Amino acid sequence: MQGTILGFVVGSLIGAVATSVGSYVVLRRRRRAAVKRLRLAFETELAALSYVEELSEAGRYEELAASVEDPVVYETNAGEIGRLTDEEVEALVTFYTDLYWLHEQQDIEDKKERVDGIADEWRRALEAVRAAAD
């Protein structure tokens, strides 16, 4: 009788451990896949914002300020950005903060240095996301 009870207890423990390990593995895979999709989304949005660098290098500051649109991926996933590496977070937040600043500018001609810095931050953010994806 005691052997049967012990068998049930051991069997239950083995089943619980196996279920826990299996659940952990599945959860970890889902989190990795979510981070991978998040990086891909940011990389895609940053690639679409390549005009920031192009217009800045061409000195077309007024056109650049007028063409900035709200960053959909950043706004949608701001709560998830903490899943990325520290380097990615810093680069993305810095770039998007500057992008919001640029979007709100009316007279940009006297702020050319800062606009050129935004192009550098764009490049840094894109490189950080791509480096972490490797």
Q: pLDDT at position 28, please?
A: 80
Are residues 129 and 88 in contact, defined by beta-carbon separation less than 8 angstroms? yes
Q: pLDDT at position 48, please?
A: 94
CA dihedral of residues 82, 78, 96, 121 (deg, nearest 10): 20
30 CB-contact burial (10 Å; exposed 0-12 / middle 13-18 / buried 19+):
exposed
CA angle 87, 49, 123 (to 5 degrees): 40
Tokens 């451990």 correspond to 17
Q: pLDDT at position 1, please?
A: 66
| Among candidate residues 79, 125, 75, the one with its CA nearest the CA of residue 100 | 75
Q: pLDDT at position 46, please?
A: 96
The rounded distance, in Å, linking the Cα atoms of 96 and 85 is 16
Give 10-residue mean pLDDT values along the chain (134 residues): 74 76 73 92 95 90 86 93 95 94 80 86 95 88
Q: pLDDT at position 16, please?
A: 72
